[in-house]
Structure 1
Amino acid sequence: HKGNVLYNFARARKALAKGGTVIAVEGYMDVIALAQAGFENVVAPLGTALTENQLELLWRMAPEPMLCFDGDKAGLKAAWRAADMALPSVQAGRSARFALLPEGKDPDDLVKAEGPDAFRRVLAEARPLVDLLWMRETAGGVFDTPERRAELEKTLRELTSRIRDESLRYHYQQEMRERVLSFFGSQRSGRQGRQDWKQGQGKTAAPGGQFAKGGGGRIAITESLGQSALVKRGGEGMSVREATIIVALINHPALIDENFAHIEFLDLANSDLRRLHAAILDAMAHDMANDRQAVIATIERAGCAEIWERAVGLIRRMRQWPALETAALEDARDAFSQALHLQRSARTLHKELKQAEAALATDPTDENYRHLIEIQAQFQDVQATEALIEGFGVSSGRAGRA
């Protein structure tokens, strides 16, 4: 019955009362060595590979056990196998992290040669399950043709379809789509960027083959980024992302109380939506932000009724139904959280882009150019994520109407 038990299970479970998570290593001699080094929360199979029953034991001990594997080919194969075994059963609050030791090392070797801190560093660099799966499918791969890219996407779809929990399966599929878009976008940007840099050697190069003209040497950004809501200035356009944040807050005032710290310092590009934001803050200041009609009354007193109608109209046109009054609070909360995360990322990247442009304009080195390309790739990632969310809203709205 070796596959049904874990070495040091009882002692490790008792040690978890002090905090932390359980650590699973490959061999019981590693458990002994780590216990001598001060790690009491460690278990191991008894001479077999990790089994499903043992994984269930680990989940009974902690929601996110740490699976630690030796730094050789056999250890890596064991990590892949454990990831495949865990995937169908993961759910919210139930996953695993993977710690990979330096090549040729096991925990016993590591703590004896370099001490307990070396093992702590390995644990600190542990990867979540989604990272391990992505690394396995992309490491060393060449995706230079549509067929190879399609094959990768098919493999990732098949992987994520194994997750039994419907909600988590959706989030994994979304995560993999975002990674694919970012990965292929970065590859294209990198190839194009290197070519443009060589063609424009000695000039102030701009991404996409453009070169700065006038303006004190300011670097031009790519046309697609220039059109993006991420970098538009002032109130020249109301982005769906920003409108979703404001409309969801007003229609579902419970979100105002839940996200007070974020709302107070919300950074919006659109000047009209900033006026609605100011009205929300005014309602908060007068203890009226817990009622939708009271918030709308504050908006009307501020002379912003027409802005509010335009914002709601945009949300309706783009079928972002979770932000509307009729949506359930849980759906509104999810939509708001997604939009807020994208908004904070976009505003941060906007500032970083300006800094990267300035750095390259004054010092056109390879390093500064690579940094600008990286920032652009992150912009494209946020754009792609936002497009997916907006597309999902439109398709869901059409399906609901049908």
Structure 2
Amino acid sequence: MALSPQFLDELKHRFTLSDVVGRTVKLVRRGREHTGLCPFHGEKTPSFTVNDQKGFYHCFGCGAHGGVIDFVMGTEGLTFPETIEKLAGEVGMEVPKPSREQVERDKKRSSLSEVMEMVTTWYEAQLQGAVGASALSYVRGRGLRSDTITSFRLGYAPGGRAGRTHLKDAMLARGVTEDQLIETGMVIKPESGGESYDRFRDRLMFPIADRQGRIIAFGGRALSSDVKAKYLNSPETSLFHKGATLYNWANARQAAYDTGQVMVVEGYMDVIALAEAGIPYCVAPLGTALTEEQIAHLWHMADEPILSFDGDNAGRRAATRAMDRALPMLQPGKSLRFLFMPEGEDPDTLVRKEGKTVLETMIDTADPLVSVLWQSLTDGVAVDTPERRAGLEKAIFIKLADIQDENIKKLYQGEFRDRLYQLFRPQKKWTAGHEKGKYSPRSGHGRKGQGLATGLLAKTMLGRSRGVEPVTIMIERILLLCLINHPAILLKYTEEVAALNLVDEDLGQIRNLLIQMIDDEISLDREHVQHQISESGLAHVAGKLMQDKALKGDWFAYPEAALGDAETGFAHTMARYRHLTSARSDYLRAEAEYAADMTEENQERFFAAQQVFRALEEKEATIYGYGIESNKVHEA
């Protein structure tokens, strides 16, 4: 659908975004914006904002961002043309008419869709008739109920020795032309010029629908053991593009929206068995590895689709291929998770043996892409020499170069550097003995003087590196004091605060209490917070914070500060905390590397990291850009 920018702008201006979002999301007005729970990912604390003036929504939790058209597409699972038709109809706008060529294509497609619907109905009737008795017996032997058979519109294609043109003859008798049957892929016309014949014969038929539920193709399972191709799919047609379609797409779309989940399984029977067991959000590719277009469709249904694979080597290789396809496509908030079946099981057999609960538990604990990617790159790789370690590191960062989003790439690189550090971290035992292959300050093994230097290092530079907690704790106190006195700030920083690795255990208890108040939907006003702190036996901790003279310079953390100033001060302090903890992490890593291998390169890296950290550690907290609301002017 080609539409002018002028038409799209006019359509958008006819709507107030918060009104459209408010149909799905309960919004609360806060100043110029509205906030609510994000409809694109599960959350208990509002991180979703709507700005009518700017005409966009944004989720600070998952990164979802867009305007009225994006919102309707995302929440209702509609295509772009469908969304335009829907919105234009609501405000009485007429969508510009397509060209004559487009009209002809649509008309032809509509007639072919009608043919496919007729074919589906005929196949269904054959399964329930005498000719389909053996096929129906097979289906029921797989444990499928009658309502499931009807819901998925399973059918039977007669054939084999009984004839090659059952479907063709039946459709011609109903007014369908041979050309239409050829164009839909239902019959095959030999290149030699002979008579056309049915493509599917003596097969259990699985109708394949598009997003709107219109039948566009079929998958057929052979019922005879002497047939070479167990499964046979329709060929590519004007209706059906295998790499852009998912089995059970239409049915799973609403279930995925309701649950926030979609799972990809291998075959038709897996999808059907899981739906019958109460897991309706499953789809399947059509006999090929996932394509980029299919992955994009999955992300339209859920932020982190789950890919199910066999637990054997073949399944792991298939997972690797899927990751290779997905890496260049990763976006903020969009990833994949992986579920590997127990040996000898598939989703169909597992859910029948163990029940729905077992599989749902596996779904809930599916592995994130980052972990599976790491495992695929490191499993079985020797790292016992510098050359092998360098080889692994090179291979990893070559792979990460495939990620196109620069921010995601940077975060993956940081994550994998940390993992490499842990993997390469020496596991030497520092003893006073002379065990073979080991050295110690007294053993005499290793380079001359290394033991002595390491011992001196432990007493001097490295020994002093532990004095970092006081500064870190000071910043933690500022943050918690600010949250106690201005708890509304927590609504915007819930996930970041919950993830803080606090050094002070007492502060950690207050942090946990505040997070629990959000989970329990307890009002986050100052009085409620102070009451909850008192009830939890933590009043003495809060009292110490209020009386701490060292914090008086950070006035934004106290009750007298305006909320806007408090939030600005909190944001700057969080940024300082992040910088400090990141520098500290780099410093300790460089320290460990230098202690393990005292090369000049490691020494330079250690001193550089030490200098960066010490500079941050000793720097005064200088916060600009706030104070007006509280009648204060900050001076450097």
TM-score (norm 2): 0.39
Tell me which of 282, 286, 290 is aligned to 2:560: 286
Distance in 2 separating the partners of 1:228 and 1:255: 39
Secondary structure in structure 2 of the residue aligned to 1:6: coil
Q: Map of 1:337-352 to 2, 5 A cutoff?
A: 338-339=578-579
CA drift at 1:226: 9.2
Contact 1:242 1:343 in 2 (8 A): no
Unaligned runs of 5+ in 2: 1-240, 443-456, 506-547, 587-605, 617-636
CA contact under 8 A between 1:12 and 1:43: conserved in structure 2?
yes
Identify which of 37, 41, 55 aligns with 2:281.
41
Match of 2:397 in 1: 157
- Aligned 8 A contact 2:310 2:340 in 1: yes
Give CA deviations for 1:141-162 in whole Å, capped at 9, x if unaligned: 2100010010111011111111
Deviation at 1:229, TM superposition (A): 7.3
Task: Note if contact 2:262-2:305 (Cα within 8 Å) is conserved in structure 1.
Answer: yes
Matched-pair contact (CA < 8 Å) for 1:226–1:232: no
What is the CA–CA distance in structure 1 between the aligned matches of 2:350 and 2:298, rounded to whole Å?
24
Question: Shift of the alpha carbon at 1:73?
Answer: 1.9
Q: Does 1:68 align with 2:308?
A: yes
Q: How far apart are residue 90 of structure 1 and its match?
A: 0.1
Deviation at 1:16, TM superposition (A): 2.2
* Equivalent residue for 1:117, pick from 326, 336, 357: 357
Paired residue for 2:419, among 148, 164, 179?
179
Letter in 2 for 1:117: T
**8 A contact 1:70–1:105 mirrored in 2:** yes
Q: Does 1:141 align with 2:381?
A: yes
Is 1:223 matched with 2:463?
no
Partners of 1:38 and 1:343 in 2: CA distance: 49
Structure 1 residues 278 and 178, CA, compared in 2 at 3 Å: closer, same or farther?
farther
Label 1:337 to 1:265 Cα distance change in 2 as closer, same or farther (>3 A): closer
- State the partner residue of 1:18: 258
SS in 2 for 1:7: coil
Note closer, same or farther for the CA distance 1:108–1:388 as it changes in structure 2 (3 Å cut): farther
- CA gap 1:290/1:27 in 2 versus in 1, 3 angstroms: same
Give 1 or 2 for the bigger CA radius of gyration.
2
Letter in 1 for 2:421: L
Q: Shift of residue 223 of structure 1?
A: 3.5
Per-residue CA shift, 1:288-309, capped at 9, x if unaligned?
Answer: 57549x98xxxxxxxxxxxxxx
Equivalent position to 2:296, from 52, 56, 64:
56
Q: Distance in 2 between matches of 1:6 and 1:95?
A: 18
Q: Secondary structure at the match of 2:341?
A: strand
Q: Deviations over 1:237-261 (max 9, x none)?
A: x57x9779979x99xxx99945599
Q: C-alpha distance in 2, partners of 1:197/1:62?
A: 57
* Inter-CA distance 178–116: structure 2 relative to 1 (3 Å threshold): same
Residue 98 of structure 1 aligns to a residue whose secondary structure is strand
Structure 1 distance, partners of 2:573, 2:259, is: 31
Change (3 A) 1:54 1:290: closer
Structure possessing the higher relative contact order (Cα contacts under 8 Å, 6 or more residues apart): 1
Partner of 1:77: 317
More strand by percentage: 2
Whole-Å separation in 2 of the counterparts to 1:388 and 1:3:
53
Give the C-alpha shift of residue 35 in structure 1. Answer: 0.9
Distance 1:277 1:66 in 2: 47
More helix, by proportion: 1
Q: Does structure 1 conserve the Cα–Cα contact (< 8 Å) formed by 2:268 and 2:284?
A: yes
Which residue of the other structure, out of 96, 101, 110, is the alignment partner of 2:341? 101
Q: TM-score, normalised by structure 1?
A: 0.59
Q: Deviations over 1:127-175 (max 9, x none)?
A: 1111111101111221000100101110111111111111111111111
Distance 2:325 2:306 in 1: 15
Cα distance in 1, alignment partners of residues 580 and 289 from structure 2: 43
Aligned to 2:353, the other structure's residue is in SS state helix
Contact conserved, 2:475 with 2:577, CA < 8 A, in 1? no
Give 1:285 shift.
2.3
Segments of 5+ residues of structure 1 without an aligned counterpart are 201-207, 211-221, 296-322, 324-328, 347-383, 395-402
RMSD, aligned CA: 5.0
Tell me if the contact between 2:337 and 2:366 (Cα under 8 Å) persists in the aligned partners.
Answer: yes
Determine if contact 2:381/2:392 at 8 Å carries over to the other structure. Answer: no
1:125 CA drift (Å): 2.6
Deviation at 1:234, TM superposition (A): 7.1
> C-alpha separation between the residues in 1 aligned to 2:575 and 2:418?
17
Quick one: distance in 2 between partners of 1:154 and 1:343?
Answer: 24
Corresponding residue SS for 1:46: coil
2:361 corresponds to 1:126: no
SS in 2 for 1:87: helix
